Amino acid sequence: MSLKQLSMLAFLTFVAISSVQAGEHSHGKNLNIEHLETLAEQGDVSAQYELGVMYVDGSGADKDMSKAKYYLDKAIKNSNKNDLAFADVAKIYWEMFELWKY
């Protein structure tokens, strides 16, 4: 991994932690993957984003780039304009990990 990619990953990790901690769906709780999937399918952009990151990183779930693509694409296309930060960071993940390939 190049220095640029490592720097971007460090930035994304910081943003992801900050964003997930601020997500309305968690209310200070660590939800399991099934709960996050339910919320994501109901249109919760923070759950969509969190699942995408989990699947990209393999943290809290097995690494699965197809699932990462699915959930980050949902976050990017989510019509909830109150949480644009999630969509913006999801786009960075999309490009950095070339998720269109999966």
pTM above 0.85, yes or no: no
Q: How many residues does the chain have?
A: 102
Q: How confident is the model at residue 78 (pLDDT cuts 50, 70, 90)?
A: very high
Residue 14 confidence (pLDDT): 56
Residue with tokens 């399918």: 41
What does the block give as tokens for 77? Answer: 């296309």
Phi, psi of 75 (to 5 degrees): -65, -40
Q: How many domains does the chain have?
A: 1
21, pLDDT greater than 50:
no
19, pLDDT greater than 90:
no
Residue 13 confidence (pLDDT): 63
Write the pLDDT tens digit of every residue in 38-48.
999 999 999 99
Over pLDDT 90: what percentage of the chain?
Answer: 45
Domain residues for 73?
Answer: 3-24+31-101
**In angstroms, rounded to a whole number, what is the distance separating the alpha carbons of residues 61 and 22?**
21
Cα distances (Å, whole numbers) of residue 82 to 17, 23, 46, 86: 18, 11, 11, 10
Residue 17 confidence (pLDDT): 56
Which of 65, 85, 20, 80 lies closest to 47 in space, CA to CA?
20
